[in-house]
Chain A
Amino acid sequence: MDFLRPADWSEALEAKAKHPEATPIAGGTDLMVELNFDHRRPEILLDLSRVEQLRQWSRLPEAQGGVLRLGAGVPYSRLIDEVGAALPGLAMAARTVGSPQIRNRGTLGGNLVSASPAGDGHPPLIASGAEVEVESARASRTVPVAEFFTGVKKTVLAEDELVAAIRVPEATGPQQFSKIGTRNAMVIAVCTFAVALHPRRETVGTGIGSAAPTPRAASEAEEFLAAELAERDQWRRPTPLPESVVDRFAELVVNATAPIDDVRGTARYRTHALGVLARRTLGWAWEEYRNSAETAGRQGCA
């Protein structure tokens, strides 16, 4: 096995162009397991750990609307510590990943490229409307996260492409993330759900994990809720959501899933649990929004 260690991003892209069969490795928390089990035998490993640019994050100019650009090599622990306030949903998901050691090693870019249906980082990125910056020596492009995954462990990446960064719009409203596991820590998701309220755009984002071959949004649920909120002028004058709205939202979330029975849980349980999570997370997010609106209202009067 050859081991390539590019010193910077352009070297990395050149190496990938020259050796399209090379398998990139960042934190190694997925890939090393596969190597140890002999499930994969890459001819070439492309080690990205020396590429400084991948480990940086920045705020894009305000003109682009408050977007954080997260280098693909930023580990979960730094997502929690450094961008948790701006991206609360992603930080909540990052806290549920593996153990502290895994969170120190594992990266968001690696989570995307591994493309496990159970990837904890995916649902909040989808709910936030994040985009993946994909680059090769020949070109670069951005792909909406929801379109990045094409199947179990499959992505849109061409063989010469690498993930440079993930662009995530900063939260402008409450975000929530919940994960079901059969242990209170260090567990692979049975299913996950993320919701994000976007008051400025007056839209709702969702993300579902571990309940279909790829992570996905519950688009009908998003549209239903956004329409309900707009119709009742709830964004400006929020009141408690009627039970019927919450139930319908949860029902549409469940309708968006295609779960299976596997060693971690049954399809029936996943369906049930996602309904509960959808109701609860929406409830928490909406309560937070109402409280913040109330606070803002009081400040306005003072």
Chain B
Amino acid sequence: MSPRSSSTAPTANHAHTRERGAPMSNTHTTPTHRPQHLDEEIAGGVGESPLRPDGSLKVRGDFAYASDLWAENMLWGATLRSPHPSARIRSIDVGPALRMDGVRAVLTAEDVPGRNLYGLKDLDQPVLAEDVVRYRGEAVALVAADHPETARRALDLVEVDYEVLEPVLDAERAAHDDSLPRVHPGGNTVRYQPIVKGDPDAEADVVVSGTYTVGMQDQAFLGPEAGLAVPAEDGGVELYLATQDLHTDRKQTAAALGLDPEQVRMTMSGVGGAFGGREDLSVQVHVCMLALHTGRPVKMVYNREESFFGHVHRHPATMYYEHGATRDGDLVFVRARLYFDGGAYASKTPVVVGNGTTLGVGPYSVPNVRIEGWGMYTNNPPCGAMRGLGAVQPAFAYESQMDRLAEELGMDPVRLRIRNAISRGDSTPSGQVLDYPAPVAELLRRVRELPLPRESTAESTNPDIRDLPGGASNTTHGEGVVRGVGYGVCIKNICYAEGADDFSTARVRLQVVAGEPIAMVHTAAAEVGQGLVTVQQQIARTELGVERVNIHPNDTSVGPAGSSSASRQTYVTGGAVQAACRAVREQVLERVAQRCGDPVERLSLSGGKVVSETSGVLADLAEVLGSEVVEATREYHHRETFPLDEQGHSERAQVQHAFSAHRAVVDVDTELGLVKVVQLDCSQDVGKAVNPDAVVGQIQGGSAQGLGLAVMEEIQVDGGRIRNPSFTDYLIPTILDMPPMNVDVIERGDPNAPYGVRGVGEPPTISSTPAIVAAIRAATGKALEHVPVGPEHIVE
């Protein structure tokens, strides 16, 4: 990147005691390291796989992430966090910290200028703790100092007097035991939702049951939380940050700062991964408070350890399942109780309960269902959005149950799944009829037909230990190694659900620069690594028939795009870009139609020309445009959804569903309990692959995250405290853990979606985990009712 030099003088006033609202003496500051424009040329329209403009920068290490932001004269912020899972704050003395050399501000809840509450669904989380702390790691005070180390050390000088309280740590108990302390005044239940279909007390010939638990997974994005706030002349603030959703951040931040949303201007800076972990606020309000208080630019960046406390995690779950079937293998009923531990604040817990219950039987047609879901407050770390939101946990349980049922029936597990697979025209347990392709059976057949790896290395006379469980650690030369194969398939809803109107906005401008027509696409949609920048360029190129498409940096000067989550951006922002491009095209073609007499319907834009169906090329687009700028802004709203009623019914609770199927092949050292996933294959329906290479990348990445949950990723929480907040002990898969994949992409377009697209990012995270665990079970014969599966689960 080419850093821009600062155009401003340093601030004249360094006073740290200035009251909020006092006049700012500094002029506008521009960060010297700031987000780069990703305006590199790419070629290719919808259905092609142009290289992404940020790709080589990231591989070379040249990409500027939010943690690289820099402004002249900036201060560094740091956060004091609660050491207790539950405590009352008797008093806070900031005096000693404030007197430390180099410290410019120490702020507490009293200094929050506006509303000291935020939250994605429920307003229940304070910006800074007031009278109580509800989890170990909750933000209590902020420091700004000349140097990051000074800020960090000043935290030790903030004296907080805590009265330690008994924490609530067990979500299932919290759901039924009213004698427990209340984490929040309204009680400990964030959401309870039943789903009832048919006869919930139906009986069946063959019944299997099990209790399954899922550990707390971390998004483990590589770029930690970071932001740079610069006070503005109008009393507002410019915030450069890494987030998934600029406008939701702005709304919450402005309210907490007591400012109009227009006074809080946000610009997306390099995002180093998100996976749901950047939906909730982290540094946003804190860094703006410090900047507004000191009148100077302030930067905050978490280190890895703080990042484990600074964002939500995947909900741990305990799930009781009972499946009933006929002797022939037709599912008769599914009954389940799901407990999700939401931790100290609600965040996305209501959605986790909604998704978990509505999708709780999996991609199967089941006549009789009773599923109950509880999302609970506890004093554990807060849990919220993570890839596969609310669908990951039940998928581990229902797929384990399908294998158990197949075993009980003496039936091939894939055949059992195919026999019960949901398909177009079937209805979900909540009563929604799938009015688009649902090729679940086809995916299972296809993934089963993909080539298998060669026989286990352990069988050969001179195995390469790197191909065996343990790898270079030299734990086996083939002893104890058994191969297993397992399958998993899943369903995930795409876009927000249950009545949410999560629309997106795109502004597209077409003009001639240096003799060439150039399109500019402007949205607030976050590029979090999924490849959205490229997708937007491809759509504009296809719709406008131009070669050159620039992407405007994401900021809040255009309307909302909603969050880069729920596998929704290509759907909704893709839809908005398509609509805006078509509006621009319409304007251009009308001009030509008036001039040439051809009706607009017969005209199109292609290769920089205006083309008529009847008479061929009519004009150069550049010529038609001249010096004019044609611009259009459009919103894209997905089709309406509706809330669930008390029985969990809704004509349409969800916008769209996506499906993927995995087959895992593992070698397990059955004496040591070490696992090597040898091959992980996936068949997925993506509706329409707008960028086929990026689609495969999403499937590989999602599968790797599912592999992590299957065999290694767990935040270990003991007494409300995280025991492994580091990448030394929170292990994520390396390149030696993630095997080669056969990825089989099919396109069964959804008639309701732009280009027929179907969300891609989440399903592979969901179905990979049960497939891998099924394979380990096949190799070991162990029940394995918890993920991640550890060596001790296999040998003990």
CA distance A263 to B728 in the complex (A): 11
Query: Which of B303, B473, B737, B792 counts the most chain A CB atoms within 10 A?
Result: B473
Chain A residues with Cβ below 8 Å from B687 are none
Is the CB–CB distance between B734 and A183 below 8 Å?
yes
A266 within 8 A of B: yes
B474 within 8 A of A: yes
CA distance A184 to B152 in the complex (A): 35
Is the CB–CB distance between B791 and A265 below 8 Å?
yes
B591 within 8 A of A: no
Is the CB–CB distance between A180 and B470 below 8 Å?
yes
A181 within 8 A of B: yes
A273 within 8 A of B: yes
Q: A38-B152, A188-B729, A273-B672 are in contact. Are A265 and B477 (CB under 8 A)?
A: no
Please give me the residue from chain B that is nearest to A266 by CB atom: B792
Chain B residues with Cβ below 8 Å from A188 are 728-729
B796 within 8 A of A: yes
Chain B residues with Cβ below 8 Å from A181 are 470, 473
Please give me the residue from chain B that is nearest to A41 by CB atom: B153
Is the CB–CB distance between B473 and A265 below 8 Å?
no
CA distance A36 to B306 in the complex (A): 12
B723 within 8 A of A: yes
Chain A 154-194 against B: per-residue CB contact (8 Å), 1 yes, 0 no?
Answer: 00000000000000000000001111111111111010000
Complex partner residue of A37 from B305, B474, B735, CB under 8 angstroms = B305
Is the CB–CB distance between B729 and A184 below 8 Å?
no
Chain A min CB distance to B474 (Å): 5
Is the CB–CB distance between A180 and B474 below 8 Å?
no
A95 within 8 A of B: yes
Instruction: Name A97-131 residues within 8 Å CB distance of B.
Output: none
Instruction: Name A24-43 residues within 8 Å CB distance of B.
Output: 36-38
Is the CB–CB distance between A280 and B792 below 8 Å?
no
Chain A min CB distance to B556 (Å): 34
Complex partner residue of B795 from A182, A184, A186, A272, CB under 8 angstroms = A272
Chain A 260-298 against B: per-residue CB contact (8 Å), 1 yes, 0 no?
Answer: 000111101100110011001000100000000000000
17 A-B residue contacts at CB 8 Å? Answer: A95-B472, A96-B472, A176-B474, A178-B473, A178-B475, A179-B470, A180-B475, A180-B672, A181-B470, A181-B473, A184-B736, A185-B472, A263-B724, A268-B792, A269-B795, A272-B796, A276-B480
B676 within 8 A of A: yes
CA distance A34 to B225 in the complex (A): 21
Is the CB–CB distance between B729 and A96 below 8 Å?
no
Chain B residues bordering chain A, tally (CB within 8 A): 38
Q: A263-B729, A280-B479 are in contact. Are A178 and B474 (CB under 8 A)?
A: yes
Q: A36-B303, A263-B724 are in contact. Are A277 and B475 (CB under 8 A)?
A: yes
CA distance A161 to B795 in the complex (A): 45
Is the CB–CB distance between A183 and B475 below 8 Å?
no
Is the CB–CB distance between A273 and B729 below 8 Å?
no
CA distance A184 to B735 in the complex (A): 9
Is the CB–CB distance between A273 and B737 below 8 Å?
no
CA distance A188 to B728 in the complex (A): 7
CA distance A186 to B730 in the complex (A): 12
Chain B residues with Cβ below 8 Å from A196 are none
Chain B 10-42 against A: per-residue CB contact (8 Å), 1 yes, 0 no?
Answer: 000000000000000000000000000000000
Where the two chains meet, the residues of B that have a C-beta atom closer than 8 Å to any C-beta of A are 152-153, 303, 305, 469-477, 479-480, 671-674, 676, 711-712, 716, 723-724, 728-729, 731, 733-737, 790-792, 795-796
Is the CB–CB distance between A184 and B476 below 8 Å?
no
Please give me the residue from chain B that is nearest to A280 by CB atom: B479
CA distance A188 to B712 in the complex (A): 13
A92 within 8 A of B: yes
Chain B residues with Cβ below 8 Å from A264 are 729
Complex partner residue of B712 from A38, A182, A190, A273, CB under 8 angstroms = A182
Chain B residues with Cβ below 8 Å from A280 are 475-477, 479
CA distance A92 to B731 in the complex (A): 22
Where the two chains meet, the residues of A that have a C-beta atom closer than 8 Å to any C-beta of B are 36-38, 92, 95-96, 176-188, 190, 263-266, 268-269, 272-273, 276-277, 280, 284
Chain B min CB distance to A239 (Å): 20
CA distance A284 to B477 in the complex (A): 9
CA distance A272 to B790 in the complex (A): 14
CA distance A265 to B792 in the complex (A): 8
Query: Which of A92, A182, A272 counts the most chain B CB atoms within 10 A?
Result: A182
Is the CB–CB distance between B477 and A269 below 8 Å?
no
CA distance A37 to B308 in the complex (A): 14
Chain B min CB distance to A186 (Å): 5
Chain A residues with Cβ below 8 Å from B676 are 184
Is the CB–CB distance between B791 and A185 below 8 Å?
no
Extra A-B contacts (5), CB below 8 Å, given A176-B474, A180-B791? A179-B474, A182-B790, A183-B712, A183-B731, A184-B469
Please give me the residue from chain A that is nearest to B468 by CB atom: A184
Please give me the residue from chain B that is nearest to A181 by CB atom: B473
Please give me the residue from chain A that is nearest to B790 by CB atom: A182
Please give me the residue from chain A that is nearest to B718 by CB atom: A263
Chain A residues with Cβ below 8 Å from B477 are 280, 284
Chain A min CB distance to B299 (Å): 18
Chain A residues with Cβ below 8 Å from B469 are 184
Chain B min CB distance to A104 (Å): 16
CA distance A177 to B475 in the complex (A): 8
Please give me the residue from chain B that is nearest to A283 by CB atom: B479
Is the CB–CB distance between B473 and A179 below 8 Å?
yes
Complex partner residue of A185 from B480, B736, B795, CB under 8 angstroms = B736
CA distance A183 to B671 in the complex (A): 16
Is the CB–CB distance between B474 and A96 below 8 Å?
yes
Chain A min CB distance to B616 (Å): 60
CA distance A181 to B472 in the complex (A): 11
Chain A residues with Cβ below 8 Å from B303 are 36
What 7 A-B pairs come out closest when comparing CB atoms?
A184-B471, A185-B736, A179-B473, A269-B792, A184-B736, A183-B731, A263-B723
Is the CB–CB distance between B731 and A187 below 8 Å?
yes
CA distance A156 to B471 in the complex (A): 34
CA distance A176 to B477 in the complex (A): 12
Is the CB–CB distance between A263 and B716 below 8 Å?
yes
Chain A min CB distance to B767 (Å): 22
Is the CB–CB distance between B791 and A273 below 8 Å?
yes
Is the CB–CB distance between B474 and A183 below 8 Å?
no
Complex partner residue of A184 from B470, B673, B716, CB under 8 angstroms = B470
Chain A residues with Cβ below 8 Å from B796 are 268-269, 272
Is the CB–CB distance between B674 and A180 below 8 Å?
yes
CA distance A87 to B605 in the complex (A): 71
Complex partner residue of A276 from B471, B672, B723, B735, CB under 8 angstroms = B672
Chain B min CB distance to A159 (Å): 26
Is the CB–CB distance between B475 and A184 below 8 Å?
no
Chain B residues with Cβ below 8 Å from A276 are 480, 671-672
CA distance A190 to B723 in the complex (A): 16
Please give me the residue from chain A that is nearest to B730 by CB atom: A263
